[in-house]
Amino acid sequence: MNQPCHPTDSSYANQIWFEEFRHTSKYQSLNDRPIAYFCAEYGFEDALSIFAGGLGILAGDVVKEAADQKLPMVAVGLYYHRGYVYREDELNLQAYKDLRPDQLGLKQVLNTKNKPLIIKMPIQDKEIFLQAWKKQIGGVSIFLLDTDLELNTPHDRLITDRLYVSDKETRFKQAMVLGIGGLLFLEAIQIHPSIYHINEGHSAMLALELIHHEMKERDLTFDEAKQFARRRIIFTNHTLISAGNEVFSNDLVSLLLARYAEGLGVSVSELVKIGLVQESSVFSLTMMSLRMSGIINAVSKLHAKKAKDIWVDHPMVAISNGIHVPTWDRIKKDSGKLGEFWKIHQTKKRVLLDFIKKQTDKEWSEDHLLIGWARRIVSYKRPMTLFEDIKKFQEISKNTNRPVRVVIAGQSHPDDEEGTRMLKEIMAFSKGELKEVFVYLPNYNIEMAKLLVSGCDVWLNTPIVGFEASGTSGMKAALNGVLPVSTKDGWIDEIEMYGKGWLIDSDHVAADLVQTLEKHIMPFYYKRDVKGIPLQWEQNMRNARQMILNDFSTTRMLREYIQMLYS
């Protein structure tokens, strides 16, 4: 029997919980001293391209959910003057566009004299001056720090020029501006948070300024103040792979923190020690975050388990990621009538197919099974899985009775040679022997993601198990009734897949995917009633959507943050 996807007991319970929470003493205390959420990137919209990928999109979803639930929160990030965009169609893997705050709805933060508020902080052997731009989402203010002022040298004006620059010195200076400068800025505008939430390690150095604050306020030694600071810091770790846990040479860190250490009245070695990787001479922002946080959370249960094997002294609370349903939901309403969900889906599929035709000149039928894969192109995510046996894939895809089409979108980081190689190979396939059945969509962004997660029939997810901390693209797809086909990694490890999608073996991923596609997915998709509607498939679409509404929204996630982290 088909069931409508109305608000369920779980999603309704979350809303009731927030309504009741807003009448508690804890909520009132947060009104006076809010939560400060720090992240290096935020993905709100394509125009404000100060994000590179999933971390920023998640941070944007968290902020939007906090605004929806009227949670007292401020967010702090950096304003990158040259936005982070990709142009894979030109094989220029990283291009930039100049961002003008006045054209993006941002307002400069002013002082009491109605002049731009300028604060200063020490970096290396000089003072660096900062200004800030404000974005407002509901009741949540997002403050984006910026070094592009005439008071700074031309070199220092470029500290906040671009996100994730390759130069280590600039990267560390950005971390200082975000962490130390962010806390100094909040103090300057008389915001005194009760909790500091570090979303990934880029913001770790706010711990140093919080120590400094406790030393002054409580007349404490450095070591005593460290313990007080730890009680107020939350750290969310998003990755176990080395590329996501960047390290810096101790010499560089010591040089850049020297003047700041003088201001604290401690040796620079005391500061470096907090982030020192054991039995090495390198500094890690992740290690600083782990050591300076009172509570640490992983972003899925499997992630917490794997992290325990790496950081044995730093146990993590498992709070699985979620998605901001109003942002990603393109179904909106389903009465539960037979065939209705399918018809809604087909309208979204036609929109995607029109987009594909416009981008690639390929005209595909809405009746063909459409498989989607869209995310960062990196080796552990295995984007080439479907193409490992080209002949077999061609045979399957060109089945005249059960045709299959595939669309891939995403980008590689320009410093990732393997990812760049795979991207070029994917592009070559789309123009070569697979051009009739496979397309690659360049210039992946938020709006394209919305088309893909609502217009495909199947969402493919092929990471090596243990490498994907969570993953959220599959949540967005399932919310819209796009059925998952995945290895048992990240959030997928937590769900019962029966009646919603298909699991594939991580150790034999290519062979198992082809077999699952040929023996299970294709027959299931093409099994239709007299009206041409796959009723069993439609029920699975409803099941998948219901799962997300129940368990994988940022509403549930934010509730667990409050209950398990912020309390």
What's the pLDDT tens digit per position in 481-518? Answer: 999 999 999 999 999 999 999 999 999 999 999 999 99
The count of residues in the chain is 567
Question: Which pair of structure tokens corresponds to residue 274?
Answer: 């907090």
**Distance in angstroms (rounded) separating the CA atoms of residues 25 and 40:** 31
Q: Hey, is 197 helix, strand or coil?
A: strand
Q: Evaluate if residue 89 carries a pLDDT over 90.
A: no
DSSP state, residue 37: E
What's the pLDDT tens digit per position in 431-450? Answer: 988 999 999 999 899 999 99
What's the pLDDT tens digit per position in 316-374? Answer: 999 999 999 999 999 988 878 999 999 999 999 999 999 999 999 999 999 999 999 99
Residue whose tokens read 């007349």: 219
Residue 539: its pLDDT value, please? 98
Burial 324-355 (b: 16+ CB within 10 A, else e): bbebbbbbeebeeeebbbbebbbebbeebbeb
For residues 436 and 488, state if they share a domain: yes
For residues 222 and 329, state if they share a domain: no
For residues 343 and 439, state if they share a domain: yes
Is residue 28 in some structural domain?
no
Question: Which pair of structure tokens corresponds to residue 113?
Answer: 């004299």
CATH number at residue 539: 3.40.50.2000
Residues 140-146 have a mean pLDDT of: 99
Residue 4: its pLDDT value, please? 47
For residues 346 and 432, state if they share a domain: yes
Is residue 8 in some structural domain?
no
**Distance in angstroms (rounded) separating the CA atoms of residues 353 and 454:** 11
For residues 270 and 346, state if they share a domain: no
DSSP state, residue 107: E
Is residue 6 in some structural domain?
no
Indicate yes or no: pTM above 0.85: yes
Is residue 257 in some structural domain?
yes
Is residue 522 in some structural domain?
yes
Residue 98: its pLDDT value, please? 79
Is residue 27 in some structural domain?
no
Residues 57-61 have a mean pLDDT of: 99
Residue whose tokens read 């100060």: 50
Helices (H), 110-192: 154-157, 168-176, 182-188
Is residue 38 in some structural domain?
yes
Q: Evaluate if residue 96 carries a pLDDT over 80.
A: no
Is residue 10 in some structural domain?
no
Q: State the residue range of the domain holding 347.
A: 325-551
For residues 43 and 181, state if they share a domain: yes
For residues 427 and 536, state if they share a domain: yes
Q: Evaluate if residue 76 carries a pLDDT over 50.
A: yes
For residues 268 and 338, state if they share a domain: no
Average pLDDT across the chain, whole number: 94
Please give the tally of structural domains in the chain.
2
Q: Which residues are registered as beta bridge partners of 439? A: 407
For residues 215 and 330, state if they share a domain: no
Share of the chain above pLDDT 90, in %: 84
For residues 215 and 339, state if they share a domain: no
For residues 349 and 228, state if they share a domain: no
Three-state secondary structure string covering 482-533: CEEEECCCHHHHHCCCCCCCEECCHHHHHHHHHHHHHHHHHHHHCCCCCCCC
For residues 317 and 349, state if they share a domain: no
